[in-house]
Amino acid sequence: MRTSYSVSLGKIVKQFSLQVLSAPTDISEIMVTTPEINRPGLQMAGYFEFFDEKRIQIIGKSEVSFLNRFTPEKAEKRLEEIFSHKPVAVVICRDLDFPEKYIELAQKYAVPVLRTKESTSSFSAALIAFLHLNLAPRVTRHGVLVEVYGEGILLLGESGVGKSETAIELVKRGHRLIADDAVEIRRVSDKSLVGTAPDNIRHFIELRGIGIINASRIFGAGAVKLTEKIDLIINIEQWDVNKTYDRMGLESQTTSILDLEIPSLTIPVKPGRNLAVIIEVAAMNHRQKKLGYNAAEDLLKKLGMTDDVTDQGGQSVDPF
């Protein structure tokens, strides 16, 4: 069963520095539950068949101009129809004037009215992005999230395999830490996941034998980041001599999180392997693949072995 999330109207007001023209109650108690918004032009024309009162209603220059075409009495009646459906909130953009009689209508139906100086388009885009992030489906995974050469790398593996130590080495090499131990992952669109750290453990890392350290305090503010898109998942595991690992990189592996398939790799570790350098190379190689270049395919093409890399069943064959 999918969990529903909500964000308080008070948080939205604080985020966008909105002016509160009218509020029937404490705005921190009013919850917004949908990332969709609405510009009520159709409702001002009298069409309410698909009106969703859970959406924040945005009134801009077009809506105000449309209202001005009516007589004052008719304009007031049209707005009262909208307020009578009790939308979660109404936001006036461009710092437009909103007459006191309209405020009284909003108070009559207990509808919060807010105002911003931003243009309608820019405010709407920013609000949608904010709502999608805060209302996105989410899951928490045990792992480490780092940014390496602009790529968001999620390190997964059993406890004690060396994820935190690798993160410290990467930070010392100029990369950035997003989360250690618990990574809160949100599906912000149909194509992307964004990871962050829970507020209470943000920037802290546990190192066995040393204890808890604060990466921001030790390495500086440039060594940490609040959020990052997850581009690649690296599963770290102890080297198993009985297991065959991919040597060519021709096979495409993915890991499913929140019903999205994210490119992934499995990297075995044993004494002597420099895991931080390997992850740096994996990040750069992943970026090259996104740009359309695959080193393994290029090598096989230069060797004239392109037609020999798959067997009759379509399975990849190690040419070496």
Taking a C-beta distance cutoff of 8 angstroms, is the pair 265, 289 a contact? no
Other Cβ atoms less than 10 A from the Cβ of 173: the count is 12
Q: How far is CA 107 from the centre of its chain?
A: 35
Residue of 74, 247, 273, 301 marked catalytic: 247
Residue of 85, 181, 202, 229 marked catalytic: 181
Say how far apart CA 241 and CA 244 lie, in whole Å.
8
Q: Mark whether 203 is an active-site residue.
A: no
Say how far apart CA 189 and CA 204 lie, in whole Å.
28
How far is the CA of 224 from the CAs of 137, 155, 181, 215, 235, in angstroms? Answer: 24, 16, 15, 7, 22
Taking a C-beta distance cutoff of 8 angstroms, is the pair 151, 265 a contact? no
The CB-side HSE value for 21 (13 A sphere, CA atoms) comes to 24
Taking the alpha carbons of 144, 230, 265, 174 in that order, is the dihedral positive or negative?
A: negative
Type of residue numbered 130:
F
How far is the CA of 313 from the CAs of 107, 112, 136, in angstroms? Answer: 70, 64, 41
Say how far apart CA 264 and CA 236 lie, in whole Å.
11
Taking a C-beta distance cutoff of 8 angstroms, is the pair 176, 223 a contact? yes
Residue of 77, 142, 173, 208 marked catalytic: 142
User: What does residue 26 show for φ and ψ, rounded to 5 degrees?
Assistant: -60, 120
Residue of 115, 163, 187, 203 marked catalytic: 163
Q: Mark whether 181 is an active-site residue.
A: yes
- Which positions are catalytic? 142, 163, 181, 247
